[in-house]
Amino acid sequence: MKKKIVVLTGAGISAESGLKTFRDSDGLWEGYEVTEVATPGAWRRDPKLVLEFYNMRRRDVLKAKPNAAHFGLAQLEKDFDVQIITQNIDDLHERAGSTRVLHLHGEIFKMRSERDERLVYDIREDILLGHTAEDGAQLRPNIVWFEEPVPMIGHAVPLVQAADIFIVVGTSLVVYPAAGLVGVAGRGIPKFIVDKKIPDTSGVSNLVAIEQPASVGVLELQKRLGELG
């Protein structure tokens, strides 16, 4: 039986593929305040702007490529039972070869009815005003915006609870409920965090911190995991 590894990934891993994040210098996202483009209020005020913003992001993700960190995590599947839980809305983990990826905050290549969140469709092109779901409602990105519930967290918690090894890569651990998953992992299991700036983890037991960018840190992580046997 392979040991179960659960990896929580965040914006830091995608940043190395050229995708901008809220963690950049001024807290803006490609020049926009969060409240302008990533809240239900923003959608009500100016759906055209929100659609344009996410259309731009979709095009950026289409051009981006997985980096060494994505490939390194995918390679862990040779020796471990690996589950990725990502806060990212891109598909770079899948393109790198990871076979089990849970997206906490939605996916940029999916859209849904603004009225019925169960009506979800694949999308590679732009979403425009007037594009409607089968219920007649406007289509919106299938993204969990700030101030909205995170339905997939209920699926993530038991996965983390069942982990033999828990790993965090490229996340500042400040966005909840995702950040709370660290506290769900078993106290006695090995834990690793890879980030170019390690957040406060003083309350986490059995933790190895690797303060490196994701692409470099995941290589170090692979060595450490090999030493665990």
Superfamily the domain 1-18+67-105+151-229 falls into: TPP-binding domain (3.40.50.1220)
Between strands 81-86 and 139-143, the pairing is unpaired
CA distance 105 to 86: 8
Q: Are 201 and 207 in contact (CB under 8 A)?
A: yes
Q: Please state, in angstroms and rounded to a whole number, the distance separating the CA atoms of residues 1 and 175.
A: 34
Give a three-class secondary structure readout of 51-83: HHHHHHHHHHHHHCCCCHHHHHHHHHHHCCEEE
Instruction: Note if 105 is an active site residue.
Output: yes
Average pLDDT over residues 107-128: 97
Per-residue pLDDT, averaged over 150-176, amounts to 91
Please say whether the beta carbons of 147 and 175 come within 8 A: no
What is the rounded CA–CA span in Å between residue 76 and residue 61? 24
| Distance separating alpha carbons of residues 19 and 29, to the nearest angstrom | 10
In the predicted structure, residue 45 carries a pLDDT above the cut 60: yes
Please name which of 27, 5, 180 lies closest in space to residue 104, comparing C-alpha atoms. 180
pLDDT at 29: 64
pLDDT-wise least confident of 109-118, 135-144, 175-184, 215-224 = 175-184
The answer to whether the peptide bond before residue 47 is cis (omega within 30 degrees of 0) is no
Question: In this predicted model, what pLDDT tens digit does every residue of 179-205 receive, in sequence order?
Answer: 789 889 998 999 999 999 887 777 788
What pLDDT does 24 receive? 47
According to DSSP, the β-strands at 139-143 and 106-113 are: antiparallel
Of 70-74, 97-101, 175-179, the range with the lowest mean pLDDT is 175-179
What are the residues whose beta carbons fall under 8 Å from the beta carbon of 127, sequence distance 6 or more? 51, 54, 55, 111, 139, 140, 141
In this predicted model, what pLDDT tens digit does every residue of 12-36 receive, in sequence order? Answer: 999 999 987 654 444 556 677 888 8
Residue range 20-63+109-143, CATH number: 3.30.1600.10
From 93, 103, 105, 155, the catalytic residue: 105
pLDDT of residue 31: 73
**pTM listed for this prediction:** 0.92
Going from N- to C-terminal start, the domains of the chain cover 1-18+67-105+151-229, 20-63+109-143
